[in-house]
Amino acid sequence: MCTNTIVRKTLFGVFLIVLLASFEANPAHTQSIPLNQLAIMQALPQEKTVDQVRKNIQVLKGLPDSQLFPVMNFIGDSLGVHCDYCHVIQGVDPKTGRDIWTYESDDKAAKLRAREMLKMVLEINKTTFGGNQTVTCYSCHRGSTHVARVVPLPPIDFTLPKTDGKTPPRLSAEQILTNYFKAVGGQDGAAVKAIVYKVTVERSQGRTNAVWQQILPTTQEITTKGGDKYLAKVTTPQGIVMQGIEGTVGWVRDSNGSRELSPGELAQVKQNAALYQAIKITDEPAQMRVDGVEKLGDRDVYVLAVTLGPRKTRKYFFDAQTGLLLRRITTTETMLAPLPEQVDFEDYRDVGGLKLPFTIRTSGLAAFTTATRRFTDIKLNAGLNDDAFKMPANQK
């Protein structure tokens, strides 16, 4: 357990931007890096590769360092194991109460076998399937250290009559988006109203030691207006922390005063702020393509896909019956595996003529990045002054 005041303040300062940007206050982790930090990290110029930063890297040379821990999370999820399956822990730091990891150690046989498997996957994707990244660790392991070799019995009887229901009619991307805008309450009407959210946040596995308990939020209030105004107010044991966007300017205010966000921070905060707009499509509709009809639970959904960059894509899943957005998945391709981020929108209710989700779930590859936001109250405030979104002046 860490009781040093300087350490606590340092951790809080480093964590502040990610806390507000991701809204569920995903803590930084000694074995993992939340996927929603990738945009900030990748915005930094000339990012070093993992073999330039870390010791004893033999297979993943050339991988950007910011992608290493998400890739490791992907591998762990694929095999259903934790980091210590391959990596060595050398006791506990008595000052912090945290595990001491020796990642460069080759003492465990599982790590040596893992290197062989990584080489195999990279070679398969390089020399087969047209050079596309088709095979990953999950392709064979499916959450287990054992690979299935035998088909389960009894077999499927393909002579039985099919019971599939009717397939929804084919629609263009423009038609799917038009239905979505109508279902929400109209694109124009949603853009001019301020929306005020009060929320509680549940994490699947949050940090429980004393340090992190002191910086996790207890109450949160989010206000959005239009597509360029955002205000987050988080109450923590250290006091109230605020973050805002007003036009092209982003800012944060805590006990140390106010400051503007860097371009990388602002880009990430804007991405998260979009979750609380009535219209949750931030990508260019003209660039979207229909990716087919799928099942999401028992619902038929239209899937729209958009390419965000050379190695990043996003898919939107719209309820074929109601037109509402049910899921968004953003995938970043790496040299070994795709890294997905998922957002689910549930429990839509009418709020002043707008259809808004009262539950938003975000999921990453690390368990602690998975969070559920439950809105205890959502109100429209047509009279909210735009000055509320401006950066507060520092007190002299």
pLDDT band, residue 210 (cuts 50/70/90): very low
Helices (H) and strands (E) in the chain, counts: 10, 15
Q: Where are the alpha helices (DSSP H) in 31-108?
A: 38-43, 50-53, 68-79
Is residue 257 a part of any domain in this protein?
Answer: no
User: Would you say residue 343 has pLDDT above 80?
Assistant: yes
User: Would you say residue 253 has pLDDT above 60?
Assistant: yes
Residue 45 has a pLDDT of 56
CA distances from 256 to 21, 25, 239, 298 (A): 18, 19, 11, 50
User: Would you say residue 140 has pLDDT above 70?
Assistant: yes
Quote the domain boundaries for residue 134: 5-43+50-141
Residue 190 has a pLDDT of 63
User: Would you say residue 11 has pLDDT above 70?
Assistant: no
pLDDT tens digits along 261-311: 998 889 888 888 888 999 998 788 889 999 999 999 999 999 999 999 999
CA distances from 156 to 153, 160, 389 (A): 8, 9, 59
User: How much of the chain is helix, strand and coil, in % rounded to 5?
Assistant: 30, 30, 40
276 phi and psi angles, rounded to 5 deg: -105, 5
Percent of the chain with pLDDT over 70: 82
Is residue 284 a part of any domain in this protein?
Answer: no
Residue 163 has a pLDDT of 67
CA 141 to chain centre: 24
Structure tokens at 120: 């195999």
Is residue 380 within 8 Å of residue 189, measured between CB atoms? Answer: no
Select from 313, 309, 303, 308 the least CA-distant residue to 284: 308
Cα Rg, the chain, nearest whole Å: 23
Is residue 107 a part of any domain in this protein?
Answer: yes
Residue 240 has a pLDDT of 87
Residue 232 has a pLDDT of 92
**b/e 176-191 (16+ beta carbons within 10 angstroms → b):** bbebbbebbbeeeebe
Residue 36 has a pLDDT of 39
Residue 236 has a pLDDT of 74
Percent of the chain with pLDDT over 90: 58
The number of folded domains in the chain is: 1
Residue 5 has a pLDDT of 39
Residue 19 has a pLDDT of 46
The mean pLDDT of 4-20, rounded to a whole number, is: 40
Is residue 222 a part of any domain in this protein?
Answer: no
Q: How far apart are CA 376 and CA 76, in angstroms?
A: 35
pLDDT band, residue 326 (cuts 50/70/90): very high
The mean pLDDT of 253-258, rounded to a whole number, is: 89
Is residue 122 a part of any domain in this protein?
Answer: yes
pLDDT band, residue 196 (cuts 50/70/90): very high
pLDDT tens digits along 17-68: 444 444 333 333 333 333 333 444 444 457 899 999 999 999 999 999 999 9
Is residue 151 a part of any domain in this protein?
Answer: no
Is residue 237 within 8 Å of residue 19, measured between CB atoms? Answer: no
Residue 332 has a pLDDT of 95
pLDDT tens digits along 365-394: 988 778 889 999 999 987 788 888 999 888
Q: How far apart are CA 232 and CA 249, in angstroms?
A: 14
Is residue 228 a part of any domain in this protein?
Answer: no
The larger pLDDT score, comparing residue 262 to residue 201, is at 262
Is residue 315 a part of any domain in this protein?
Answer: no
Query: Average pLDDT, whole number, for the chain?
Result: 83
Burial of residue 26 (number of CB atoms within 10 Å: 0-12, 13-18, 19+) = buried
